[in-house]
Amino acid sequence: MSAEAAASQASLLAPEVGPDGVAVVTAVVPVAPGAVPVQHRVGAAFDLKPLNPSSKYVKLNVGGSLHYTTVQTLTKQDTMLKAMFSGRMEVLTDSEGWILIDRSGKHFGMILNYLRDGAIPLPEIQRELEELLAEARYYLIQGLVEECQLALQKNEGYDPVCRIPMITSPKEEQMIISSSNKPVVKLLHNRSNNKYSYTSNSDDNLLKNIELFDKLALRFNGRVIFLKDVLGDEICCWSFYGQGRKIAEVCCTSIVYATEKKQTKVEFPEARIFEETLNILMFEAPRVLDKALLDTTGSGAASCPLHADDEDGRERRVRRIHVRRHIVHDERPNGHQAVFKD
């Protein structure tokens, strides 16, 4: 190493103390002969002092995140920031006028926007929402704290993933239905469970039933439990359960008795299925009754239990809907009159 290089390195390793008590390093940048020495600050001095009451603008250094705002914004709501910047508290300020707040600056921009506007769009990710809640509590912003807590409560009761269990046994099915406090909709579809040939539209209608089941599962995700059964003894059948018991059933298959052969027909009663799905929502628990609605309709059922038939011992009934009855064609030689049978 040359003598000049050693002297240059020595000058870098021997910082001088400036008049303001800040360590100053003088570094020579060898870009050209006669280069001008450049001073770099490796430390900063912070002083505690009250904010100047006449200041309208404030420079904030929040955990390394720099923000420039007004005193009016910071004192707009009754928060810890109002106490800091109304002159009642001393603030930590560096020699360049930046006020230091020893907190993470990740969400401080949202804090400022809430102080400006009184409302902000909250983060959708739960972890970021929890971080914002922690900052709102630190700065004592009560309104933002309540909004974050309410959003977290909604997220706890909502699962963004739509899960549809597949039934593996009758015992498992009964356990799911009896242990759930939500209504249950089950679709049983088993195309192979047929000893006759299908009519021309049966395959299309079977697919339509499956597609409707998937759409309803997405639409009412979190409110209704949807089950699929591919092992049952029906070809296509919907079942609706509330409070652990079967409420309704929609069977979508029938046998068509033709002159020479029997055929299985699958129907797609979309309106009836959708109606029963809406009816099953009455069995959501806990069920909140709207007193104003009851008063308006003049219903006195507010004080009555949902199922009064339990008290008088009457048997609960299940609505069973078969979309089409069996059709028999008369094989007499003079005609083919259709006769409906149960």
pLDDT given for residue 325 in this prediction: 40
Dihedral sign of CA atoms 178, 181, 187, 190 in order: negative
Number of separate helices (H) and strands (E) present in the chain: 10, 18
**What is residue 91's predicted lDDT score, i.e. its pLDDT?**
84
- And the tokens for 82? 């109002």
pTM: 0.46
Give the H or E element holding residue 152.
helix 142-156
- Residue 141: CB atoms within 10 A of its CB come to 21
**The pLDDT value given to residue 308:** 42
The single residue listed with the structure tokens 């046998």 is 255
Distance between CA atoms of residues 47 and 100, nearest Å = 10
pLDDT of residue 334: 45
DSSP for residue 67: E
Q: What is the pLDDT of residue 333?
A: 42
Contacts of 283 (CB under 8 A, 6+ apart): 183, 242, 243, 247, 306
pLDDT (tens digit per residue) in 99-128:
999 999 999 999 999 999 999 999 988 899
Written as six digits, the tokens of 93 are 């300020």
Query: What is the Cβ-side half-sphere exposure of residue 153, based on CA atoms within 13 angstroms?
Result: 6
| Per-residue confidence (pLDDT) for residue 120, from 0 to 100 | 94
pLDDT tens for the 342 residues of the chain, in order? 444 444 444 343 344 444 444 444 333 334 344 443 433 344 455 566 556 555 688 899 999 999 999 989 999 999 999 988 887 778 888 888 899 999 999 999 999 999 999 999 999 888 999 999 999 999 999 999 999 998 888 876 555 678 899 998 989 999 999 988 899 999 999 988 888 888 889 999 999 999 999 999 999 988 899 999 998 888 999 999 998 899 999 999 988 886 678 889 999 999 999 999 999 999 886 554 555 545 655 544 444 444 444 444 445 667 676 654 444 444 334 444 444 343
For residue 201, which of 264, 123, 127 has the smallest C-alpha distance? 264
